[in-house]
Amino acid sequence: MDLTSDTPFTANPPVLSVFENFIGFSNNEVCAITELVGNIQFLNFKCVDNKTAGIEIAVAGVSPSVTVTNAVIVGKSGLNDSANMRNDHRGFIGPGEGFDVLLDGVNFYNYDDTIGTSVAALSTCSHCFFSPSTFAGRAHYSVQKLNVLTEPSVKRFIRWETQ
């Protein structure tokens, strides 16, 4: 084993870590956030009225990588003061680098311009809206059974972040 390497355990097979049935309501930043993760699944998450984002994955480190399955992510429920929301609120912020991200059966509700002008249900590149960033453009996203239920005034569903 080469302990001088930045990633000495890359030869090990990935082990799936499952986090399930989590409810995050009105957090000051994010319902669920990760920094450098491997093979991980968020299962049956409910994220409502969180200030910055529902779920944020900064860097996905191995393949297979991040899966979000059967989640409900609500931008504004009416149960909380929308004035506390950021005007660039996101439902899901994915990594700008790393391996595969799969959103499977994720439902987004109420991501519209009454929260702010730069609101989006999906956003890429977790660290790209911080300067300086070196993460843009190195992740692969897949979606299936994705639902977005919002006001007709919604101007953007996906926000592609760049450096």
Task: Read off the pLDDT of residues 18-74 as tens digits, 9 standing for 90 and up.
Answer: 999 999 998 888 899 888 787 889 999 999 988 888 998 887 666 667 899 999 998
Q: Which domain holds residue 116?
A: 17-152
Do residues 137 and 94 lie in contact, with contact meaning Cβ atoms separated by under 8 Å? Answer: no
Q: Report if residue 72 sits inside a domain.
A: yes
Q: Report if residue 5 sits inside a domain.
A: no
Q: Report if residue 161 sits inside a domain.
A: no
Do residues 133 and 125 lie in contact, with contact meaning Cβ atoms separated by under 8 Å? Answer: yes
Look at strands 120-123 and 158-159 and give their pairing: parallel
For 2, 63, 75, 118, the CA distances from 60, given in Å and listed in that order, are: 22, 8, 24, 25
Q: Report if residue 7 sits inside a domain.
A: no
Query: What is the tally of structural domains in the chain?
Result: 1
The pLDDT tens digits of the residues spanning 39-48 come to: 889 999 999 9
pTM above 0.85, yes or no: no
Closest to 50 measured CA to CA, from 1, 90, 16, 21: 90
Q: Report if residue 42 sits inside a domain.
A: yes
